[in-house]
Amino acid sequence: MTARQNREIGSGGDVALPVLPEKLTYREASAELDGIVAALDRPDVDLDELVPMLKRALGIVDELNRRIRTAKMQVDVLVPQLQAAGTGGGVAEAGDDGGVDSNERVTEEGSR
């Protein structure tokens, strides 16, 4: 856990305003959420810190879910474009026969 994350979930000392979840990278937000979960699992969790930690965790979860939904929508748009580009007259990879079974090709060629 980083020093910034320690300050955010309340480790004593100076209290810093938490960085907004949308300002964190996905990895940072996920790591902070893991830290909060670990803190909540401790039997000595401070009751005064419990509600703020839960609120922070909820904000992080909401942000991570938003990013996952956004990424999924982008993938749903990009994958068909990539597939179309791959079948739109591009150079075929070695061994790419357009999905025709080699036995079918021989039969078709032999019947002509």
pLDDT digits (tens, 9 = 90+) for 6-35: 444 444 444 556 778 889 999 999 999 999
Residue 57 has pLDDT above 60, yes or no: yes
* CA–CA dist 52, 45 (Å, integer): 12
Domain count within the chain = 1
Element (H, E) at 44: none
Domain membership flag for residue 112: no
Determine, yes or no, domain membership for 79.
no
Instruction: Give the orientation angle of helix 47-87 with respect to helix 26-41, to 10 degrees.
Output: 150
Q: Is the pTM of this model over 0.75?
A: no
Give the per-residue pLDDT at 44.
Answer: 93
Please indicate, yes or no, if residue 54 is contained in any of the structural domains.
yes
Residue 91: inside a domain: no
Over residues 79-89, mean pLDDT: 83
Name the nearest CA neighbour of 57 among 88, 78, 32: 32
Cβ neighbours of residue 39 closer than 8 Å, sequence gap 6 or more: 9, 45, 49, 53
Domain that holds residue 29: 1-73
Average pLDDT value over all residues in the chain: 75
Instruction: Give pLDDT, residue 87.
Output: 74
CA 28 – CA 24 distance, rounded (Å)? 6
Q: Does a structural domain hold residue 56?
A: yes
- Whether residue 92 lies inside any domain: the answer is no
Collapse the DSSP code of 103 into the 3-class scheme (helix H, G, I; strand E, B; otherwise coil) and give the result: helix
Give the Cβ contact number of residue 19 at 10 Å: 15
